[in-house]
Structure 1
């Protein structure tokens, strides 16, 4: 009869399961992989397959009793490391969602909202458009492979059983919320400035001809001109996307810097 020995279980956990928990935590929070469009079973299978591919190339894992308290602590650490790395990249896509909402509020499209199937929340139509475009750009530029590459390098920079993410790194991750809002404002700034000029012009027209109905004139004007402005500024999204992606990947690598 086949019997599992404690040493065999410990060796299996050290070589496979500990990397699996970090990679699984990463796939749980990372963009594209961590959305509601990807079933939980698919994410688990994908994380396991990636783990089995990477295990031969990873550094040696510490050996300890599989059922000891230090083992459970390491499991929790690996989950948190993976989730923190995935969340740092999630900020990249969300800044485009926030930027789309800022533009939509200025062009009278704030009421046009829909449910985002990837996150399960209600966002404006313009934010959903930005999210779809950015997701396609991210995949076409192999951003998902760059994320996995940084995650693999984290096993060398922050080995399993070694140091945990420092408090300064976690504070830096929390402080990146301000980076998300400032980057979203930078993304929406051309549209905001253009729409502000249109609003100012409509105010002058209303002052010069009070008999005009500003609501009947202003709403379709802002909507049509806003769509034209969006079409124009979309041409400058790729350089901004490249810049924001590099900053997000730098943050992801910075989190696991010893």
Structure 2
């Protein structure tokens, strides 16, 4: 489309084209794509990053964005952006899975709250894990490193050559295995304590049948789980720190 503004209009369409990949990455990312983040904020962030990308890289928009080649180029930009954001989703899903396991052992899966980052319900313990992970992720500057990887993707996947290939798709799918392993590592300390609590409750119920197992086991599970969470807090910090590093490492592997 030509509105008669010459070179200025060409730079505008170039900026819009660059914003496509960045905006798709922001929508798919767990922090920036949260429901609580207004769409206007994501557009402004994508525009600010796109201005720097236009200044640093020789990325050019297709001659005609409304042609078949232009639409395919835009779809390729969206594919790369969504992939880079979706890789972070795997890492940020690990604490939610661990919270489901811990909440089931404590009997607290009934205590759910609306997750502001996804707009869905999640266990209350999962909210705690997500807050810790978000704070550590931002404190380490991992979000800035992720933006640097998004900018670097223009060197690896130039516009028009954005097909990731079956190898990279298989690599992204393989990150799911690492997600489950990390979830097990987060839930393991608390789960072991809850197992001991359940064994003690079972022994007490067999030695004193007059005791009400339900009135005894539930408080013991909740108190034991909370105590285990307090004791394992340093381990949780180390795990989410490693999780943030792994999230960036997975994004780098996609760009290799």
TM-score (norm 1): 0.91
**How many positions carry a matched residue from both structures?**
255
| In structure 2, distance between residues paired with 1:150 and 1:60 | 16
Matched residue, 2:80: 81
| In structure 1, distance between residues paired with 2:185 and 2:124 | 20
Q: Contact 1:64–1:71 at 8 Å: present in 2 too?
A: yes
Matched residue, 1:108: 107
| In structure 2, distance between residues paired with 1:129 and 1:106 | 17
Q: Contact 2:3–2:9 at 8 Å: present in 1 too?
A: no
String of CA shifts for 1:114-145, please: whole Å, max 9, x gaps: 11122111111101111112111111111211
Q: Contact 2:107–2:218 at 8 Å: present in 1 too?
A: yes
CA shift for structure 1 position 239: 2.0
Matched residue, 1:164: 163
Map 1:17-28; keep pairs closer than 5 Å.
17-28=16-27
Map 1:129-144; keep pairs closer than 5 Å.
129-144=128-143
String of CA shifts for 1:53-108, please: whole Å, max 9, x gaps: 23111234365333321111110110111011011112222111111121111111
Matched residue, 1:183: 182
| In structure 2, distance between residues paired with 1:157 and 1:27 | 19
Note the residue ranges of structure 1 that are not aligned, 5 or more in a row: none
Note the residue ranges of structure 2 that are not aligned, 5 or more in a row: none
Name the CA shift for 1:127/1:255 in 2 (closer, same or farther; >3 Å). same
TM-score (norm 2): 0.92
Matched residue, 2:4: 4
Q: Contact 1:6–1:65 at 8 Å: present in 2 too?
A: no
